[in-house]
Amino acid sequence: MSDVVEQAPVGSTIASVTRVTEPFRVPSSRYVSPVWADLEHERLWPHVWQLAGTLDHVTKPGDWFEYQVGWISVVVVRADDGTLRAFQNVCRHRGNALVCGEGRELSELRCGYHRWCWNLAGTLKEVPSRKGFGAFRNDEFPLIEVQVDTWAAFVFVNLDLAAEPLETFLEGVPDDALWLGLEDFHCTYDLVVPMPCNWKTLIDGFSETYHVQGLHREMLPMTDDVNSPQRLFGRHAKLVQPYGVASPRLRGGATDQEIFDAFVEVMGTRIGQSTTEPAGPVPTVDGVPLRDVLADEVRATAAGLGADLSALSTDQVLNMQQYNLFPNMTIIAFPDLMQVVKSRPGPTPDECFMDIFVFERRAAAAPRTPPVRATVQPGDVDFGLVVNQDVEALGRVQRGLHQPGFTELVLSGEECRIVNLHRNLEHFLGISPSDISGG
């Protein structure tokens, strides 16, 4: 089993999951019940920090985008003075949504219904036929402010003005990730994929690697999915997984050529190779272990893109650093490669939206430009071998969760990041932690 380590609990309801004497059991109703989903819409989404977009979405004054989660809609805009502002996307007159989608060069937020108008700082500045309303002051009706803050290139929002600052919410994650230089990553694609599963079904699939042996067997020659330490920060969590080495689950091990073939198939772009072409002969340097050779090739490819990884060790270059940020976001990072996957609830508990943010590392101070934003259907886009397999599997899991005889998920300590999600969810929803046994 994975080396499940280091628990730093935050909040009295969050117990340690490091020593497991019996399975954790989670009621399956949490994944299919409209009542549970309503509770999340009422108590979680309006109160939790969540990733809305990136700095690349809002580089210049007047750049803006809309962020939706359930019924909630937020507009994030870079104001004239260069600061980021966020507002609930609603007109104070009769509730029309002010914006839809994204755009540039916005100079004001003008409602399309009856043309009330605010500046980008959220101050009401114009009301047509104003006399008909009698007397009121413009400062009585500002746009409804939303907290907005950033870490690295990530733009987070929180509708709860009484919520703790983002910096506190993120616990020790930014410090832990400091060496990765995440601030040098630029978002190039922001893809939305409607998925036939609950938002937790999706993010659970990105919260454990127990399923590598089932769903991603092609990875077994190139990753140690067994000796992969996990860490719980309290509400967030982390996995470190070595790549470029065979899984102990492969009883006969793997040759260097097999490790290399699998490495290229899963992440060949890191060494300048196509993931869809045959890998070719394994590179060798006399007396140098394959992992060190691979790390050098990654460093050389990254250098060509302006990233200097020369000070980083082989482990730092080849081990995946995966962060799971409560409630719905995961960062999959290497010093030269980063993707973010996020899930948002859909119209029913059986639907969600998978957001995939693709990043490229650029030289420090390289200008930011807006990413390509698109909604794509599952199967229409090649996300790479591993994510393609995840996308294909999750609808089957959601169907299984509905079977009348299936009443609970049974989780191991290796799946502690899922357990941690539920314990924090209980905390937000005000649910008794006794609903999960184990520990």
- Report how many residues bind Fe ion under the rule CB under 5 A: 1
Structure letter (DSSP) for residue 425: H
Q: Of the listed pieces 65-73, 86-94, 228-236, 290-298, which binds ligand FES according to CB under 6 A?
A: 86-94
The minimum distance between CB 128 and ligand FES, in angstroms, equals 8
Query: In the range 107-146, which residues lie near ligand FES by CB under 6 A?
Result: 111, 113-116
Q: Which of 93, 217, 362, 368 binds ligand FES (CB under 6 A)?
A: 93
The minimum distance between CB 175 and Fe ion, in angstroms, equals 27
Q: Which of 94, 104, 130, 249 binds ligand FES (CB under 6 A)?
A: 94
The minimum distance between CB 398 and ligand FES, in angstroms, equals 38
Determine whether 129 is exposed, middle or buried from the number of CB atoms within 10 Å of its CB (0-12, 13-18, 19+).
exposed
Contacts of 111 (CB under 8 A, 6+ apart): 91, 93, 96, 98, 117
CA distance 171 to 238: 12
Phi, psi of 110 (to 5 degrees): -110, 125
Determine whether 304 is exposed, middle or buried from the number of CB atoms within 10 Å of its CB (0-12, 13-18, 19+).
exposed
Query: In the range 365-384, which residues lie near ligand FES by CB under 6 A?
Result: none
Binding to ligand FES by residue 91, rule CB under 6 A? Answer: yes
Sign, Cα dihedral of 346, 76, 382, 362 = negative
Binding mask 335-374 for Fe ion (x = CB under 5 A): ----------------------------------------
Rg (alpha carbons) of the chain, rounded to whole number: 23
94 binds, among Fe ion, ligand FES, none (CB under 5 to 8 A by kind): ligand FES
Binding to Fe ion by residue 204, rule CB under 5 A? Answer: no
Q: Which of 28, 29, 96, 388 binds ligand FES (CB under 6 A)?
A: 96
Q: Does residue 378 have a cis bond before it (omega within 30 degrees)? A: no
Token reading at 198 = 């609950």
For residue 95, how many C-alpha atoms fall within 13 Å in the half-sphere facing its CB?
A: 2
CB 305 within 8 A of CB 335: no
136 binds, among ligand FES, Fe ion, none (CB under 5 to 8 A by kind): none
The minimum distance between CB 118 and ligand FES, in angstroms, equals 10
The minimum distance between CB 392 and Fe ion, in angstroms, equals 10
Nearer to Fe ion, 258 or 390 (CB): 390
Closest among 230, 255, 235 to 245, alpha carbons compared:
255
Binding to Fe ion by residue 225, rule CB under 5 A? Answer: no
Nearer to Fe ion, 204 or 390 (CB): 390
Other CB atoms within 10 Å distance of the CB of residue 363 = 10
Q: Which of 171, 225, 390, 415 binds Fe ion (CB under 5 A)?
A: 390
390 binds, among Fe ion, ligand FES, none (CB under 5 to 8 A by kind): Fe ion
CA distance 414 to 1: 6
CA distance 207 to 216: 15
Phi, psi of 352 (to 5 degrees): -155, 175
113 binds, among ligand FES, Fe ion, none (CB under 5 to 8 A by kind): ligand FES
Give residues in contact with ligand FES (CB under 6 A): 91, 93-94, 96, 111, 113-116
Residues that bind Fe ion (CB under 5 A): 390
